[in-house]
Chains A and B, each alone.
Chain A
Amino acid sequence: ITEVCGAKRVGYFGPAQFYIALKLIAAAQSGFPVRIESIKNELPLPRFMALKNDSEVRYGTPAELHGVKFQAPHASLEKNSYKRTDEGDKQQEPKSPPMSPICSPPASPSTYQRIPLTYGYGKSRSGLEQQHGAPYEVRHSTHQQDGPSSGNYGSKPALACSTLSRSLSAEREQPDSSAHYSDDPWRITEEQRDYYVNQFRSLQPDLNSFISGSVAKNFFTKSKLPIPELSHIWELSDVDCDGALTLPEFCAAFHLVVARKNGYQLPETLPETLLPDYLQAASLKPLRECTLFDSYSEPLPGSQPTRDFGRMEKTSAEEVPDNSAVIKDKSKDDKQALKVNTVVKAIPKEFQHLTVKTAAQEPNALKARPRSRSYSSTSIEDAMKKGEEPPTPPPRPQKSHSRASSLDLNKIFQQNTQAVRSGWLPPPPPALPPRPSVSQAEQVSEVELHPQMNRPPSPAEENSSAKKEVVLAQPPSKPARRKLRTEVQGLETPELSPTVNVTSSLPAAKPHLPVQKQSSKQKRAIQTAIRKNKEANAVLARLNSELQQQLKEVHKERIALETQLEQLRPVTVL
């Protein structure tokens, strides 16, 4: 079986190999000869001793990759009750140490249901029902295979399995937000998103505006979660800490509420898929499925923080609707993210996005990419062909495919200047020392107003100055900040060169050539990105100086008023 599925050839069990192996096991158990053709038959599930429930692996043809269907969890909550009609290729989590984690004990608090749908393909697919429960960190640790594995579909024979549309008796729903086979509970599916958006509309008709804190409080209190938990949810989702929820923040908060009600523990930090930038981009385009549950929080062990490529793409995509809220969001997201950021930066396999992201997103993206690369090494050729996404559902593949082309590069670079503003804010350290420096410079009594104003420029400065440092002893002066920015950019380029080496050291034999071609492309892209960054730097510096000017003027006004007051006072005393 090992030989047939190709593991021997490539030397390891990639997701595709694993699935084929499982299929072959099923075939063998049913008495069929162990051959590739035999897995084309409809096979019963392979039986494993450890399995508590049936698990089935489903394969898709290359053609079907486009029309891949998603099995959406049946999420029905008090608030939401709808069935998702997506369907996607589901695979068992490969490579998790034993098979048992795949079928978490039924005692798990939430059972994950998927109901497959069959489109007009003439084939029936088997749905993968899995139970995911409390040990979802284990599940998540296996997630990384999901994403890249789907990229291998194209190279594997198509299989049709009998569709199991069991509705498990314990139909406990989960707001698993994974749009497809990812079991990531923190990913918001399209249906969920629509629901959230409708709820948002009911509270606030203008989708681009905020929901105020009190309105949101009343709304979420209806969910009957305890106040400390709601408080924590708010803390997680209101990334710009302005006391109001934008649409993506609202979706994130709603999603967390839904998750909590279904028994999920709240994370310590906001999962990446719930970040407002991510959600905002996702609202523009279909969600990228990278099935990578990225969590920075310690409480979710085992979930290796592989960052979505989707996130990276998202940041480039969302530059268009860039606004100050996004800037704030990003800075805050990054702030949260940086808390656990200790990853060595390396280059991802998606070079075209890499270049933009390194320029635009600095530590976050850099940190994310190497991890995802390591997991998806097996499917790198496919991933590179398809863009970083694994096969996406019907509406999405076009986008993901178009990404793979250099077309995206151009699009990204056009947006880069805007992207730079929001995208290149690397996570400032939790302490945000540069911010005090800016606010110190202001020293206005209206503390509220100016910190808000200064957040856009100050995070921009923060990110650069704080990029490599955890603590800034002195508030950096303006020229120092510019210097730091350029330093940061300078750091990016040396960082990128090792990435080129890393890419060449990929295990897969195929990508060598494309890699080298990519690296030169990427270098050019990096240089362009650097130039754009410098321009953005200049813009921000100008903005900063303007704000400083305003500050001085306000100061003068205040002093004038104070002197007036002093003059008037002796009169009243008398």
Chain B
Amino acid sequence: ARLGIICRPPQNYPLYIRSVPTENELKFHYTVHTSLDVVDEKISAMGKAMVDQRELYLGLLYPTEDYKVYGYVTNSKVKFVMVVDSSNTALRDNEIRSMFRKLHNSYTDIMCNPFYNPGDRIHSRAFDNMVNSMMMQVC
């Protein structure tokens, strides 16, 4: 099972990438990058609607041959993308939601750190630990 997490600010460069296991990482990166288009499309489709937290979770972006991609966007247009193996059918929507929420919370914690410049890559150990634990749960 593979799980990848990426955050991208509006300019769409990655702030944080983690994948388990680490082979085929390039393909995984590619998948995430292409899924960003889908994310953007969904955001623009919201149009004038107020963005509330329910809509932050974009759900299954698109299922491809062996994996599913989930998206989540924050109010500041930071996108979280999660790629999961399709074989991992145990993952339910709720769990994905909660995982995104955890990510979002950790991300806001990082934001609170005055030494963190928005747009920097994320090196926070707390964030790493959280992501690791999440991935351990899934895989």
Contacts and interface: CB of A to CB of B under 8 A. Distances in A.
Interface residues of A, number: 40
Given A243-B113, A445-B52, A436 B125 contact: no
Contacts of B34: none
B112 A217 contact: no
Q: Chain B contact residues: over half helix, strand or loop, or mixed? A: helix
A520 B91 CA distance: 48
A441 to B, nearest CB: 10
B112 A433 contact: no
Contact of A234 (B75, B108, B113, B130): B113
B44 interface: no
B18 interface: no
Given A232-B125, A431-B98, A216 B114 contact: yes
A228 B125 CA distance: 11
B60 interface: no
B130 A431 contact: yes
A430 B133 contact: yes
A471 B129 contact: no
Given A231-B123, A444-B52, A473-B94, A430 B112 contact: no
Contacts of A214: 114
A241 B130 CA distance: 15
B102 A436 contact: yes
B126 to A, nearest CB: 5
A179 B105 CA distance: 37
B137 A235 contact: no
B113 A238 contact: yes
B114 A234 contact: yes
B124 interface: yes
B41 to A, nearest CB: 22
A439 B108 CA distance: 14
Given A430-B130, A436-B98, A217 B114 contact: yes
Given A431-B98, A431-B102, A443 B114 contact: no
B105 A432 contact: yes
A440 B93 CA distance: 14
Given A235-B124, A241-B109, A433-B98, A562 B50 contact: yes
Contact of B115 (A217, A436, A562): A217
A447 B111 CA distance: 14
B12 interface: no
A227 B95 CA distance: 35
A443 B52 CA distance: 6
Interface string B113-137: 1111000000111100110011001
Best-surrounded residue of B101, B108, B137 (most CB of chain A within 10 A): B101
Contact of B94 (A230, A238, A243, A474): A474
5 contacts: A234-B113, A235-B113, A238-B113, A431-B98, A445-B52
The 9 closest A-B CB pairs, nearest first, are A213-B114, A243-B112, A231-B115, A436-B101, A217-B114, A241-B109, A234-B113, A241-B112, A230-B115
